[in-house]
Amino acid sequence: MKPEVKRELLAGLTTFLTMSYVLIVNPAILSDAGIPKEGVIFATAVASAVATYTMGIYAGLPFALAPGMGLNAYFAYTVCGQMGIDWRTALTAVFIEGVLFLIMAFFGARRAIFRSMPKSLAYGISAGIGIFITFIGLKNAHIVVPSHSTLVKLGDLKSPQAFITVLTLIFITVLQRKKVKGSLLLGILFAVLLSVPFGLVEKPHGIVGLPRPVAAFQLDFSHILSYSIVPVVMAFLLVDVFDTVGTLSALCTRLGISLKDERVGRALTSDAVGTTVGALLGTSTVTTYVESASGVAAGGRTGLTAITVATLFLLSLFLYPLISVIPTFATSAVLIYVGYFMMESLKKIEWEEITEALPAFITFTAIPLTYSISDGMGIGFITYTAVKVLTGNWKDLNKVLILITVTFLIKFLLT
């Protein structure tokens, strides 16, 4: 085997180990929305494989894709939970978003939207989603519990779920500090092993097996024209734009290629294909993973790295019996860590400029406190536009930004 081929294969294995936790975390989150867990496992693996194959073959880049953290939480806990929208209708919203992304990718509109968005709000949204995900992890671990007097309070730290989550978070931190590949996946396995003596893990029916696509092709268009769905599609659209283009910017910088490179446009198309296929199969928005940087650091330079990751995603389907018995709380430490990772964007906010910093602050605090990414974003956009108008900074506004603000304002007035 040629040295460069071996390097690409090892880089693909590195990327897969780094992001394979999604095979466990995504089903745990989306099953809370009512989607059959077996169907989500199938959709997660296959949609990730299709999108990553497209990235490797069509775009020729060593990046991997999978259902995005934050977007799946918005799907499960805001759209299906807080808003009460059926998961089939929510998947239809994701499908429409994917089709819009596909059209936008072909015409270059996606880059135009990204360029029109204030960076401070983008950073605030990322941080807000990070806090939101962390809160979900703490709740699943019973570390944070409801309270009638103070809304939330500290749970029983002596409970097995809380104790195991704290130990697992420490374990993951040590592995990350030592730069161990696949530390998040190892953290989940560590939590599962600690859970066995407490009887918190069901015995698997086998080791090898395949999940059924029970959530595939379940789209429901009957309520999609409802005014309440439009902000949902927009929220998916905006968050995915920030997530994907921001991630691609970082990855392309590490790879040493320009964002004007033709392959970057094809990467956006790969992302759109993944989202569209994922919605049809039964999962939330698919996006490019920043964990792909681990493969780039390991020497991945071509699409062969992505093709390797995609193949491993398909092979992981055969481990369905083992994946299906992992308890939801075993992913809590990973959610907390991912939340910490997303908070890094706060240091990029221009804190000395109040018209930029205050709307960003409002955004990243409103998202977890309203328990809604969409509502938090809406409050942030309205605040940003109002502050800029009242301080005479019209130059910082544009037609796209104003349109988004008006849409959210109408949504709040109608609901």
Separation CA 3–CA 28 (nearest Å): 39
- Single pTM value for the model: 0.78
Q: What is the phi/psi pair of residue 300, to 5°?
A: -70, 125
Name the β-bridge partners of 286: 67
Residue 132 CB neighbour total at 10 angstroms:
27
pLDDT of residue 83: 86
- Per the CB < 8 A criterion, the answer to whether 110 and 101 are in contact is yes
Element (DSSP H or E) covering residue 287: strand 286-288
- Residue 119: burial class (beta carbons within 10 Å; 0-12, 13-18, 19+): middle
Element (DSSP H or E) covering residue 129: helix 119-140
Separation CA 298–CA 293 (nearest Å): 8
pLDDT of residue 290: 78
- Per the CB < 8 A criterion, the answer to whether 212 and 45 are in contact is no
Q: What is the phi/psi pair of residue 16, to 5°?
A: -60, -45
pLDDT of residue 317: 94
Q: 145: helix, coil or strand?
A: strand
The pair of three-digit structure tokens given for residue 95, joined into one six-digit string: 């499908």
Of 146, 139, 147, 142, nearest to 160 by C-alpha is: 142
The pair of three-digit structure tokens given for residue 18, joined into one six-digit string: 């780094």
Residue 69 CB neighbour total at 10 angstroms:
26
Q: 65: helix, coil or strand?
A: strand
At a CB cut-off of 8 Å and minimum separation 6, what does 368 contact? 128, 131, 132, 135, 376
- Per the CB < 8 A criterion, the answer to whether 379 and 362 are in contact is yes
- Per the CB < 8 A criterion, the answer to whether 323 and 37 are in contact is no
pLDDT of residue 237: 81
Given a cut of 70, the residues of the chain with pLDDT beneath it are 108-115, 242, 245-246, 249-250, 253, 259, 415
pLDDT of residue 398: 84
Of 72, 69, 56, nearest to 11 by C-alpha is: 56
Distance separating the N- and C-terminal Cα atoms of the chain: 62
pLDDT of residue 259: 64
DSSP assigned state of 56: I
pLDDT of residue 48: 97
